[in-house]
Amino acid sequence: MRKSMSSFGKHRNKTHRLCCRCGSKAYHLEKSTCGKYAYPAKRKRKYNCMDSVKVQHLNPRRHPVHLKNFSD
């Protein structure tokens, strides 16, 4: 099923930009908050369910997999 014409008009507006704290494209322009680290709040955004994400990035020997770092 194809999308209707009314949904195509919503693609031209930018909702997120780069966050100055974490550098990810998660800073919501209208809310003025980062969805990843909750900038401009002083405390980092953290939930107990986020521990399961760390398990997903482990190889079978339970060592962390080093993802490519683009910050250099």
58 lies in a domain? Answer: yes
6 lies in a domain? Answer: no
Mean pLDDT for the stretch of residues 39-59: 74
CATH of the domain at 36: 2.20.25.30
Alpha-carbon distance of 66 to 56, in angstroms, equals: 12
9 lies in a domain? Answer: no
List all residues 6 or more positions away from 48 whose beta carbon is below 8 Å from its beta carbon: none
Q: Which domain holds residue 27?
A: 14-72
Report how many domains make up the chain. Answer: 1
Specify the pTM. 0.54
pLDDT score at 27: 93
| DSSP letter, residue 10 | G
7 lies in a domain? Answer: no
More confident residue, 18 or 49: 18
3 lies in a domain? Answer: no
Q: Could you report the per-residue pLDDT of 7-21, keeping only the tens digit for each?
A: 777 777 889 999 988
For 47, the token pair is 């939930």
Mean pLDDT for the stretch of residues 46-56: 69
Kind plus residue range of the DSSP H or E element containing 56:
helix 51-56
